[in-house]
Amino acid sequence: MSANETLAPSTHAAGDEQQLGRVYDMLTAEEALDPRPRHYLVGGGDRDPVELPEEVYEVLLRVVDAMRKGLSVTVSPTSQVLTTQQAADLLGISRPTLIKALDEGQLPYTRSGTHRRIALTDVLDYRERRRRAQYAAIDALSADVDEASDIDQALADMRRSRKTVAAKRRAAKAG
């Protein structure tokens, strides 16, 4: 397997989809009974089964789930320390946006000569913080509207909420 390889589910054999479904069912069957199930890899021959590390199990589960849905999967090994471009790609943001976050201290980094390096765990933590902030912003902007609600009042409430969030954002940037 090369550094980055995309794997597509087979479109030739009708049984492949059923087989992927069986593998997925096997991988998820014990999760309902035990939140930390143990899974083993059994090969041909007389070798003893090998317990899968949790990380390998999670990867296998995601790959099988995607492939049974007809999606392709790209396996891309990543080091524990990322370049700014790798981190930006992982976050789904531009490199200049990432550099701004680094300069603002939102994400720790080290320097290797003139190049910045970011720990993968820090990038993943930052992604989770951003995700939580985005959900909080959505909650702040959401309004309960039902059929009996006055639409003009609901829109006014939403505008007021947006202005409040924008004012808080500006105050946080200024402070």
pLDDT score, position 122: 94
Q: Rounded to an integer, what distance in angstroms lies between the CA atom of residue 164 and that of residue 134?
A: 15
Which secondary-structure segment (H or E) carries 168?
A: helix 151-174
Quick one: CA torsion of 22, 23, 28, 34, rounded to 10 degrees?
Answer: 110
pLDDT at residue 13 is higher than 90 = no
Token representation of residue 172: 């946080």
* Separation of first and last alpha carbons in the chain: 50
Ordered by where they begin, the domains of the chain are: 5-75 (no CATH), 78-127 (1.10.10)
For position 20, what pLDDT does the model report?
Answer: 75
Confidence of residue 83 (pLDDT cuts 50, 70, 90): very high
- Entry field: residues in the chain: 175
Mean pLDDT across the stretch 149-153?
A: 76
More confident residue, 30 or 124: 124
